[in-house]
């Protein structure tokens, strides 16, 4: 019998989520699973690396992300232009822009708050971010609405006379700190009516998961997230049954196989 691995744990989490179970229920079941692993090791029946259990990412439910993002967007979707809305609600605009960038690029919270204006290429719709180990990478902003939001925010910085090099700013105009953003995001989660707050790490994981479910090669996801090893990406993300079903349907092995047989048969004549 093979050993229990991280893939099995991720598959378990996803199967529970696919059944519609609440996150709290899943967390309780994971706690029970940890206890079971401890007992197996103590009894000498099997050794299971509990470090793998600790690497399981916390994932925000899709509906929670939708509600949170809808709440944040509501501040800039009223009457008037996007520029005027951003100008009238600078703090909310900062949170919305940070959340949008993390969902699109999968950047870490420190990387997002560390984005420098000089590293933004509006024409090329790309941003150069500084990741762990002083490794630079380029992320892309393909969404047109997000591009408009970014432009409006840059104009707001100029109007407010903000001179520091960082894109995002706090309430007093100073560079937005990761901890301040976490607090703002927590408050926004509560204001949006969520049972549990969404963390920056959840946004990063959501970005990676959505890309994998859309069929993006995991090597591209690894590059986008700035992982030195693809093993980290495999632990950090999970491929959903939806993506697997889509891939299998696209392959359509039986139909392709039968077509090849028919073509091979016709070629004899």
Contact 153, 97 (CB under 8 A): yes
Verify whether residue 177 is a known catalytic residue. no
Residue from 24, 132, 190, 245 carrying the catalytic annotation: 132
Torsion of CA 235, 237, 241, 247, to 10 degrees: -100
Distance separating alpha carbons of residues 97 and 143, to the nearest angstrom: 12
Verify whether residue 164 is a known catalytic residue. no
Contact 240, 13 (CB under 8 A): no
Residue from 17, 69, 236, 238 carrying the catalytic annotation: 236
Residue from 157, 197, 227, 238 carrying the catalytic annotation: 227
Residue from 137, 148, 182, 201 carrying the catalytic annotation: 201
Distance separating alpha carbons of residues 151 and 73, to the nearest angstrom: 16
Verify whether residue 87 is a known catalytic residue. no
Verify whether residue 132 is a known catalytic residue. yes
For every residue of 70-84, which 3-state class applies, written as one string? HHHHCCCCCCCCHHH
Verify whether residue 236 is a known catalytic residue. yes
From the list 267, 109, 93, the residue with the least C-alpha distance to 178 is 109
Q: Of all helices (H) and strands (E), which one includes residue 139?
A: strand 136-140
Residue from 17, 69, 71, 108 carrying the catalytic annotation: 108
Contact 209, 215 (CB under 8 A): no
What residues have CB less than 8 Å from 161, skipping those under 6 apart? none
- Where in the sequence numbering do the catalytic residues fall? 108, 132, 201, 204, 227, 236
């Amino acid at each position: 019998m093979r050993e229990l691995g991280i893939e099995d744990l991720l598959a378990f989490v996803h199967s529970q989520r696919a059944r519609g179970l609440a996150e709290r229920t899943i967390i309780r079941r994971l706690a029970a699973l940890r206890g079971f692993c401890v007992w197996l090791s103590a009894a000498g029946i099997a050794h299971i690396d509990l470090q793998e259990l600790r690497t399981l990412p916390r994932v925000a439910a899709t509906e929670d992300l939708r509600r949170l993002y809808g709440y944040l967007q509501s501040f800039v979707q009223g009457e008037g232009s996007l520029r005027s809305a951003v100008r009238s609600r600078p703090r909310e605009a900062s949170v919305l822009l940070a959340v949008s960038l993390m969902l699109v690029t999968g950047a870490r919270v420190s990387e997002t708050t560390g984005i420098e204006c000089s590293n933004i290429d509006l024409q090329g719709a790309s941003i150069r971010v500084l990741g762990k180990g002083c490794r630079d990478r380029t992320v892309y902003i393909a969404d047109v609405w997000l591009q408009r939001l970014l432009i409006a925010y840059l104009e707001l910085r100029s109007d407010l006379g903000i001179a520091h090099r960082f894109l995002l700013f706090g309430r007093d105009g100073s560079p937005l700190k990761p901890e301040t953003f976490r607090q703002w995001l927590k408050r926004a989660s509560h204001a949006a009516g969520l049972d549990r707050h969404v963390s920056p790490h959840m946004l990063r994981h959501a970005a990676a998961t959505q890309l994998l479910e859309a069929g993006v090669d995991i090597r591209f996801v690894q590059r986008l997230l700035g992982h030195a090893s693809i093993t980290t990406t495999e632990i950090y993300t999970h491929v959903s049954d939806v993506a697997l079903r889509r891939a299998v349907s696209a392959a359509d092995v039986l139909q392709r196989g039968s077509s090849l047989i028919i073509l091979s048969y016709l070629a004899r004549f």
